Structure 1
């Protein structure tokens, strides 16, 4: 008989805690270059992100700003040096691309946030900023917003769990990249986005440490972000009817 607690423990152990062996050594010169590119990219990206999140819903400048942001993250990441896809542990003990594993993590993270959103909907000062952010999808083109969300998710992971993670070195890389990612997210001035940045940054940072690459973090990020885009409005509307909002 399958024990769900044991299954969940083994899954989390393999996906977030037990690193895969790899050799990603690079010269001191390349490492220093990676650091310079990472810092410049971070400053530019933080400024553009703060600007984009303050654009009124329905304003076409939002699309251009978010695409520009994706371009900054991606160009900075690819320009910093070599990136790796990474491999994860399978149930049989072999190594493979962490696809199903990352999809599962993304779904778990999505379920946790939707449950939290249901509760938050009853707290107006927390719910209102989230509703304002979702107005970009309601007022504008949902397919376009979804495409931009996907592009930005990929670009963020290429930079934060790719370039930046490699630039800070092995020691405390998860903690440092999570803190930086959370701080950049805080530039938007939305409290719940800061919490999202902390959770997503930590989970994808642990994935990066375990797999040694960006594929797992990208899949988890996209599963979470696109799921939130399509399911969060319905969750908030249902919660509002329950809470009498």
Structure 2
């Protein structure tokens, strides 16, 4: 019943925007967002083109998280948001956090199932291994920590600043397209595909909760599942 309610609410949120953010100071926000988008995309392209095991990978990816975080707070205020799975209860942050957890587990589980199929497709498996190689050659604990920190930073920026800067021009679609384009700077189609799915889900969460808390939790849980579950599958 709870899953059905959450699914219905997420679907309804596409048609009914409950985010009160009017996109104040949109011109200033868009200039700042554009600047940090360019910087972040360049850093992403460089970080994922270094050889697995190269020590430069760590400062590059940490620096990327710093870029997204600074860009998020520099462009304007961020909202945590709220949610209630029960119509009779007022929305609150605990509800938004719970929605983020459930969605993160669901999306992560779907990706694991997809990985079980993708590993049997040579071309797709090779693309996945290009990214997962960083976990194989480096410290799993460090790579996991960097993945989670970057996931949080991306949500602050893309579902926080970029989403607000895109208003009122269909921010769910615009923020997701921008997220995919930046992700594609890595040169890996699989990352772009993952970005399209995750970006869409997280943008809908932003819209249905009016904040970054739910999408941030979803992204962090999804990232943890990817780092810990996918390497054994593609080994």
Aligned-pair Cα RMSD in Å:
1.6
Paired residues of 2:100 and 2:214 also in contact (CA < 8 A): yes
**Equivalence for 1:17:** 12
Deviations along 1:151-186, one digit per CA (max 9) or x if unpaired, are 100110000000010011133100001111111111
Higher deviation after alignment, 84-93 or 161-170: 84-93
Deviations along 1:84-143, one digit per CA (max 9) or x if unpaired, are 000112225321221111111111111111111111111111111211211111111111
**Equivalence for 1:147:** 145
**Equivalence for 1:96:** 92
**Equivalence for 1:71:** 66
Paired residues of 1:73 and 1:156 also in contact (CA < 8 A): yes
CA apart distance, 1:21: 4.3
Question: Which residues of structure 1 form unaligned runs of 5+?
Answer: 238-245
**Equivalence for 1:171:** 169
4+ aligned runs moved over 6 Å, structure 1: none
In structure 2, how many angstroms separate the alpha carbons of the residues matched to 1:23 and 1:67? 32
Pair 1:26–1:235, CA change in 2 (3 A):
closer
In structure 2, how many angstroms separate the alpha carbons of the residues matched to 1:210 and 1:168? 16
Paired residues of 2:23 and 2:164 also in contact (CA < 8 A): no
Total equivalences in the alignment: 230
Q: Show the 5 A alignment for 1:106-121.
A: 106-121=104-119
Structure whose CA Rg is larger: 1
Paired residues of 1:46 and 1:184 also in contact (CA < 8 A): yes
CA apart distance, 1:22: 5.3
TM-score using structure 1 length:
0.89
Paired residues of 1:86 and 1:213 also in contact (CA < 8 A): yes
CA apart distance, 1:26: 5.8
**Equivalence for 1:227:** 225
**Equivalence for 1:47:** 42
Paired residues of 1:20 and 1:87 also in contact (CA < 8 A): no
**Equivalence for 1:209:** 207
Paired residues of 2:156 and 2:212 also in contact (CA < 8 A): yes
SS class of match (2:186): coil
**Equivalence for 1:243:** none
Question: Which residues of structure 2 form unaligned runs of 5+?
Answer: none
TM-score using structure 2 length:
0.92
